[in-house]
């Protein structure tokens, strides 16, 4: 008599992702489930019981594997902008006019169905004597529907404003910093194989004008320095998908984007200031950071140029000038950013990585300056075998076993 024993070759000590993929591969490729035959004189019923025991154990093992939807599908951008007078004889707190300003956070969920943009404005308050405040300083946009594939997701925004006094040229100079943290998180569904994404963006301007009492600051005719820092905690997803059958983020559709803009007018509305094709404006810098599926980081920096309204100048973290039209100078900055990542995460602040300064032309009487920060996160929804399907498959194998016994 010939008995058949089911051998799934499960490796319980392998990493979780490998175990899930191994189980899926065996389900999707029955040829990988090996059936071995041994000669025996035992009764058929005993061999059949062994087969069903193996089926029960296999179903239990596969259905108890962790879900593919895992918290690894996260991305987090942490940027910091600093405003300081270009001339260290200017006391910036004394230049505060209304001290008010509005920013806006916007999230679009490209799920099933698409929802967004979900928007939350926040208010900035600066005073000449006290510390600056932002209200609300933290909030979360969560996907509000029952996604048809079971996907859930959210974007969390956190802000912190500070007044910092530093010594420049032997004088104490006050600057204001705005820390912005944007975190996207997707738990992919398991009912279909499809992509889902979150686009989360912060838009934030400061205004300078003597003509409008709602301006954040009075007009500073000597100009400002606007620096960018990439903060520790900036991170790409821990796991990337192969785009076919493994869970995780899609590398070529996931990115961090940081921008700075200057406009030769009073434009307090965040949407208007960051609208495409804004007249009389310069994009001071655009930094795009991406990762491949092995956490190889690529940074791409583009800088703006002087025009008839503003004369720009550029400094690195040492305060030394660099030429934004020189590929070697820009590549050096990009390399610093790429080197700051370890396994997809920034471990140490890149303080004042670069500074773009500007001097307004004499014909101007107002300008608006601000930053924008975005995270773009795309993940793969990947179906997993249902227990009923596994039972049907393994029951079929049991039937094969029984027929072999009758031969």
The structure tokens listed for 354 are 């670069």
Same domain for 330 and 389, yes or no, is no
Same domain for 126 and 254, yes or no, is yes
Same domain for 349 and 400, yes or no, is no
Counted domains in the chain:
2
Same domain for 313 and 391, yes or no, is no
Same domain for 347 and 389, yes or no, is no
Helices (H), 296-386: 327-339
Q: Are strands 310-316 and 350-360 parallel, antiparallel or unpaired?
A: antiparallel
Q: If you write DSSP's letter for every residue of 361-391 in order, what string do you get? A: -TT--EEEEEEEEEEEEEEEE-----HHHHH
The structure tokens listed for 386 are 């249902």
Q: Which structural domain, as residue segments, surrounds residue 402?
A: 2-67+385-406
Same domain for 22 and 114, yes or no, is no
**Quick one: pLDDT at residue 25?**
42
Same domain for 262 and 336, yes or no, is yes
Q: How far apart are CA 51 and CA 397, in angstroms?
A: 9
Same domain for 402 and 365, yes or no, is no
Q: How far apart are CA 290 and CA 354, in angstroms?
A: 19
Same domain for 294 and 240, yes or no, is yes
Asked if residues 299 and 287 have their Cβ atoms less than 8 Å apart, the reply is yes
Q: How far apart are CA 49 and CA 44, in angstroms?
A: 9
Same domain for 391 and 273, yes or no, is no
CB neighbourhood size of 263 (10 A): 23
Q: What is the pLDDT along the chain (407 residues), one digit of tens a residue?
A: 444 333 334 333 444 344 334 434 433 443 333 333 333 444 445 454 544 444 444 444 444 444 444 445 999 999 999 999 999 889 999 999 999 999 999 999 999 999 999 999 999 999 888 889 999 999 999 999 999 999 999 999 999 999 998 887 778 889 999 999 999 999 998 877 889 999 999 999 999 999 999 999 999 999 999 999 999 999 999 999 877 777 899 999 999 999 999 999 999 999 999 999 899 999 999 999 999 999 999 999 999 999 999 999 999 999 999 999 999 999 999 999 999 999 999 999 999 999 999 999 999 999 999 999 999 999 998 766 544 444 444 445 445 444 544 45
**Quick one: pLDDT at residue 64?**
43
Same domain for 259 and 347, yes or no, is yes
Same domain for 168 and 140, yes or no, is yes
Question: Helix axis angle, 387-406 relative to 16-28, nearest 10°?
Answer: 50
pTM > 0.85: no
């Amino acid at each position: 008599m010939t008995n058949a024993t089911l051998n799934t070759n499960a490796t319980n000590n392998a990493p979780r992702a490998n175990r899930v993929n191994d189980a899926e591969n065996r389900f999707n490729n029955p040829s990988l489930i090996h059936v071995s035959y041994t000669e025996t004189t035992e009764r058929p019923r005993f061999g059949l019981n062994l087969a069903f025991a193996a089926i029960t154990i296999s179903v239990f093992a596969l259905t108890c594997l962790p879900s593919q939807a895992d918290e690894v599908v996260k991305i987090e951008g942490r940027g910091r902008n600093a405003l300081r007078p270009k001339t260290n004889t200017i006391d910036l707190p004394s230049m505060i006019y209304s001290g008010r300003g509005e920013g806006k956070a916007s999230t679009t969920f490209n799920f099933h169905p698409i929802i967004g943009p979900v928007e939350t404005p926040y208010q900035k308050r600066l005073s000449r004597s006290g510390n600056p405040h932002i209200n609300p300083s933290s909030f979360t946009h969560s996907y509000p529907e029952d996604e048809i594939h079971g996907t859930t997701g959210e974007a969390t925004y956190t802000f912190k404003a500070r007044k910092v006094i530093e010594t420049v040229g032997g004088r104490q100079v006050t600057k204001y910093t705005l820390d912005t943290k944007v975190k996207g998180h997707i738990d992919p569904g398991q009912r279909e194989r499809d992509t889902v994404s979150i686009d989360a963006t912060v838009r934030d301007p400061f205004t300078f004008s003597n003509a409008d009492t709602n301006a954040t600051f009075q007009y500073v005719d000597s100009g400002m320095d606007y620096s960018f820092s990439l903060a520790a905690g900036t991170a790409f997803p821990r796991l990337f998908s192969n785009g076919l059958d493994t869970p995780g983020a899609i590398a070529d559709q996931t990115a961090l984007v940081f921008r700075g803009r200057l406009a030769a007018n009073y434009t307090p509305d965040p949407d208007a200031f960051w609208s495409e094709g804004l007249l009389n404006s310069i994009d001071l810098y655009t930094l795009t950071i991406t990762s491949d599926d092995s956490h190889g980081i690529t940074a791409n920096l583009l800088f703006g140029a002087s025009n008839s309204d503003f004369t720009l100048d550029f400094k690195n973290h040492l305060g030394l000038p660099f030429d934004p039209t020189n590929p070697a100078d820009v590549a050096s900055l990009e390399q610093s950013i790429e080197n700051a990542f370890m396994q997809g995460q920034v471990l140490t602040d890149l303080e004042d990585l670069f500074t773009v300064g500007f001097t307004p032309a004499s014909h101007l009487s107002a300008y608006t300056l601000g930053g924008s920060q975005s995270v773009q996160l795309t993940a793969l929804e990947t179906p997993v075998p249902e227990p009923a399907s596994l039972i049907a498959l393994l029951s079929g194998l049991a039937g094969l076993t029984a027929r072999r016994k009758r031969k």
